[in-house]
Amino acid sequence: MMTSAPKLTPQLMFHGGFDHAVALWREAFPDLRVTPLGPGRVRMTIAGQDLFLFDSLVKHAFDFTPAVSLVVETTPAEVDRIAGVLGRDGEVLMPLDAYDFSPRFTWVNDRFGVSWQIMAA
């Protein structure tokens, strides 16, 4: 009997308003696809990666942390454009620059606290 391999899909928990994050991310990634899964829950595909997003009805004492970040590999011009969108009203953790590991890189937290590392491949 053949069984399918497990699939790993990250899930991001918001405390309300994940639809605003989806709108921002759609600006950064025009090919973003969203599939509603029920009230306050969606599956989305962004830059080829599936993610689950949901709005928690329960308020928690924790939120997003840069210890886990979404890494986007793209062209140098797209690094600048995507960083401009995601970094707006967010926080720069590493400034947009050339580094030993990438000719164009930045690390930002968007205004929702989701951490993004954006680099030229």
CATH classification of the domain holding 112: 3.10.180.10
- Determine the pLDDT at residue 3: 74
- Judge whether 1 lies within some domain: no
The mean pLDDT values, 10 residues at a time, for the chain of 121 residues are 84 93 96 95 96 93 94 97 97 98 98 97 87
* Domain encompassing residue 82: 11-120
User: Cα angle at 71 between 67 and 74, to 5 degrees?
Assistant: 160
Q: How many CB atoms lie within 10 A of CB 24?
A: 18
Q: Please name the residue ranges forming H helices in the chain.
A: 18-28, 76-87
114 inside domain: yes
The CA distance from 110 to 66, in Å, is 11
Tell me the pTM.
Answer: 0.91
